[in-house]
């Protein structure tokens, strides 16, 4: 596609429910990243994919968070048993290789009520 696409753009969920956030990177970009932007805080790195493997998961805040990437393309970030502190904007980015410029999606605004 022309840019990084994320869906849904907004998600409201009840505490304790599971959510899935989707990212479609730019076609041909092998590297994919997930970031989180919490209210009043900066962006924090969550996880990095090179192809389908995730060599760096160091930013995932707890074992309730997981992500996968299939076919070297679409990625899904899953949050299980959501908590209110999970409320944030989740941003996905992709780049052509690990050293390339990162292009960001519009983000998914998650609200846990």
Min dist. Cβ of residue 20 to another protein (A): 19
Residues 89/97, Cβ–Cβ less than 8 Å: no
Instruction: Label residue 46 exposed, middle or buried (CB < 10 Å: 0-12, 13-18, 19+).
Output: buried
Residues lying near another protein in the complex (CB under 8 A) are found at 3-4, 6, 9, 31, 33, 35, 40-45, 48, 56, 91, 93, 95, 98-102, 104-107
**Bridge partners (DSSP) listed for residue 10:** 109
Nearest residue (CB) to another protein, 67 versus 93: 93
Nearest residue (CB) to another protein, 47 versus 112: 47
């Amino acid at each position: 596609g022309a840019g990084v696409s994320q869906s849904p753009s907004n998600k409201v969920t009840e505490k304790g429910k599971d959510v899935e956030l989707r990212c479609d990177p730019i076609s041909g970009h092998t590297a994919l990243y997930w970031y989180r932007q919490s209210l009043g805080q900066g962006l924090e790195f969550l996880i990095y994919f090179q192809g389908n493997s995730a060599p760096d998961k160091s930013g995932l805040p707890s074992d309730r968070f997981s992500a996968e990437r299939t076919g070297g393309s679409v990625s899904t970030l899953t949050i299980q048993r959501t908590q209110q502190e999970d409320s944030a904007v989740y941003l996905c980015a992709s780049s052509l290789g690990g050293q390339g410029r990162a292009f960001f999606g519009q983000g998914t605004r998650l609200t846990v009520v």
